[in-house]
Amino acid sequence: MTTAKTPASFSELALIQPLLARLTELEYHQPTPIQAQVIPSVLAGRDLIAGANTGSGKTAAFALPMLQDLFTQKNKENPKGSQGNYVTGLILVPTRELAKQVADSVKSYAVHFNGAIKTVAVFGGVSANTQMLALRGGTDILVATPGRLLDLMSSNAIKLDKVKTLVLDEADRMLSLGFTEELSELLGQLPKQKQTLLFSATFPEQVQTLTQELLNDPVEIQLQSDDASTVVQRVFNVNKGEKTAVLAHLIKQHQWRQALVFVNAKNSCEHLADKLYKRGIEAEVFHGDKGQGYRTRILEAFKSGEIDVLIATDIAARGLDIEKLPVVINFDLPRSPSDYMHRIGRSGRAGEVGLALSLIDYEDFHHFKVIEKKNKIRLEREQVEGFELDETITQEMLEANKPMAKPEGTGKKKRKKKGLGNADVWLRNS
Ligand code: AMP
């Protein structure tokens, strides 16, 4: 397990000038811990497996050394390089939005290569023809979702036999979304000799199998969870049927610049948006029944701050990078405890302090305890002033609601978390 210290600057990581210049422009003053550990290993040509939380800066961790390798190789070789429908660096991601987001980041890091590195994103839900055209003449870095990539391969728009580096981003999510067959088909088409980088927030059995089959003497990188955890979590007991009123009250009271609200079903998004509208709050919705054009538009508008409140299902829970999102609210609890961590990771990105609120009524009490236990967290149950629990909530119910998991580590950590969980946080995020 690597435990290198975070270097003070990117230049200590032996990155080349065009990348360093770009990082200065982007105001990346210092590598994040994952970048400090991943970049040297990738530049040294090693395979690696990294446990990285969303928001930890992992895109740059793999993209920067990949770009550097590709650029230096291209300069050494005949500048015309390979021809045809080749791909040199392949990044597989689980969702369309993530494909676009990762490709945009790669392109942004590469601006000072003046077009020498071609990056393309391919994903479903939009026309394949435009993507085929973009792939003509070969692609240096391809960011793809598995299904669309297979389609493009079957129509000979692309071949994977020249791939030198493979990145599997959010490998756990890819497998949980049912991409197992597609992945094994794709992996079978890749050359044996290549560098493989695997990123996963969690390590279920399927990911471990993939690791054994795919990686050659990998460097293992696991961040301490405290490194990435800048999200203050709070949980509120709410009477059955009062969640909408509490949500509207909190939004109005705190005047957050923006809020991302999670629900569990597509129609709940619309339903909640209507109810908020009647209470004077405008919200947009984001879920899988919406067309890709709509989804892209809404996400861009949310990212640029045009939308204040976005109500979403878990398709927004993974990997999306919304700059400085002040608050994430669990209106419905996620079914899976790991999705809880992914949802709250939308806030507090890259060192910003974020806030994650969960509204729970008595039907959620037990499930929230499970979420706490699985994620090794323990939160004080709070109530919102003016919406205190009524007499239908018995002492017995409240007992059942007491947190049961002891937090990991020492009292020191506990105090640190508690210290952040005070009223200042409301202000800081308002
Ligand atoms: P990621 O985990 O790759 O989605 O990155 C999360 C956010 O952190 C993105 O907005 C990045 O632009 C930003 N970021 C990545 N690395 C750094 C860095 N070294 N310094 C400041 N911001 C960063």
CA-105 nearest atom, ligand 1: 12
The residues facing 309 across adjacent strands are 259, 283
More confident residue, 203 or 409: 203
Mean pLDDT is lowest, of 9-18, 237-246, 390-399, for: 390-399
Q: Is 248 exposed, middle or buried (0-12, 13-18, 19+ CB in 10 A)?
A: middle
Q: Is 358 exposed, middle or buried (0-12, 13-18, 19+ CB in 10 A)?
A: buried
229-400 shares the fold of 10-222: yes
More confident residue, 372 or 173: 372
Q: Which of 26, 101, 231 to mutate to test the pocket of ligand 1 (most atoms within 8 A of CB)?
A: 26
- The mean per-residue pLDDT over the stretch 395-402 comes to 67
- The mean per-residue pLDDT over the stretch 220-230 comes to 61
pLDDT score of 339: 86
Q: pLDDT grade, residue 320 (50/70/90)?
A: low
Residue 28 near ligand 1, beta carbon < 6 Å = yes
Residue 56 near ligand 1, beta carbon < 6 Å = yes
Nearest to 208 by CA among 55, 49, 319, 412: 49
Residue 321 near ligand 1, beta carbon < 6 Å = yes
More confident residue, 133 or 84: 133
Distance of CA 412 to CAs 348, 404, 407, 409, 418, Å? 22, 19, 11, 8, 10
Q: Which residue owns the Cα nearest ligand 1 atom 12?
A: 57
pLDDT score of 232: 79
Q: Which CATH architecture has domain 229-400?
A: 3-Layer(aba) Sandwich (3.40)
Alpha helices by DSSP H, listed for 315-356, are 337-344
More confident residue, 366 or 205: 366
Q: pLDDT grade, residue 83 (50/70/90)?
A: low
Q: Report the mean per-residue pLDDT for the chain.
A: 84
Residue 59 near ligand 1, beta carbon < 6 Å = yes
Residue 350 near ligand 1, beta carbon < 6 Å = yes
Q: Which residue owns the Cα nearest ligand 1 atom 5?
A: 57
Is pLDDT above 70 for 420?
no
Q: In this predicted model, what pLDDT tens digit does every residue of 405-418 receive, in sequence order?
A: 444 333 333 333 33
pLDDT score of 426: 39
More confident residue, 194 or 76: 194
Is pLDDT above 80 for 101?
yes
pLDDT score of 217: 92
Interatomic CA distance for residues 221 and 189, integer angstroms: 27
Separation of CA 56 and ligand 1 centre (Å): 7
At residue 123, φ and ψ (nearest 5 deg) are -160, 160
Is pLDDT above 70 for 215?
yes
Is pLDDT above 90 for 262?
yes
Separation of CA 26 and ligand 1 centre (Å): 10
Nearest to 281 by CA among 242, 303, 309: 309
Separation of CA 35 and ligand 1 centre (Å): 10
- The mean per-residue pLDDT over the stretch 308-315 comes to 92
pLDDT score of 93: 94
Domain boundaries defined on the chain: 10-222, 229-400
Is pLDDT above 60 for 309?
yes
Mean pLDDT is lowest, of 63-67, 204-208, 268-272, 362-366, for: 204-208
Q: pLDDT grade, residue 423 (50/70/90)?
A: very low
Distance of CA 180 to CAs 24, 118, 147, Å? 39, 28, 11
Q: pLDDT grade, residue 351 (50/70/90)?
A: low
- The mean per-residue pLDDT over the stretch 173-200 comes to 89
- The mean per-residue pLDDT over the stretch 137-151 comes to 96
Structure tokens given for 196: 């493989």
Residue 20 near ligand 1, beta carbon < 6 Å = no
Interatomic CA distance for residues 19 and 33, integer angstroms: 18
Is pLDDT above 90 for 165?
yes
Residue 110 near ligand 1, beta carbon < 6 Å = no
Q: Write out the CATH class of domain 10-222.
A: alpha beta
Can you point out the beta strands (E) in 281-370?
A: 283-286, 309-312, 327-330, 354-360
CA dihedral sign of residues 54, 59, 65, 66: positive
More confident residue, 96 or 274: 274
Mean pLDDT is lowest, of 71-75, 99-103, 349-353, for: 349-353
Beta carbons within 8 Å of 351's beta carbon, 6+ residues apart: 32, 230
More confident residue, 417 or 86: 86
Q: Which of 95, 321, 341, 342 to mutate to test the pocket of ligand 1 (most atoms within 8 A of CB)?
A: 321
Interatomic CA distance for residues 42 and 38, integer angstroms: 6
Structure tokens given for 300: 């861009």
Beta carbons within 8 Å of 424's beta carbon, 6+ residues apart: none
- The mean per-residue pLDDT over the stretch 399-427 comes to 42
Q: Which residue owns the Cα nearest ligand 1 atom 16?
A: 57
- The mean per-residue pLDDT over the stretch 255-281 comes to 94
Residue 349 near ligand 1, beta carbon < 6 Å = yes
Q: pLDDT grade, residue 226 (50/70/90)?
A: very low
Structure tokens given for 215: 């990686």
**Residue the block writes with tokens 């509490």:** 246
Beta carbons within 8 Å of 145's beta carbon, 6+ residues apart: 92, 93, 94, 95, 96, 99, 122, 123, 124
pLDDT score of 50: 92
For the chain, the distance separating the N- and C-terminal CA atoms, rounded to the nearest angstrom, is 40
Is pLDDT above 90 for 253?
no
Q: pLDDT grade, residue 7 (50/70/90)?
A: low
Q: Which residue owns the Cα nearest ligand 1 atom 22?
A: 28
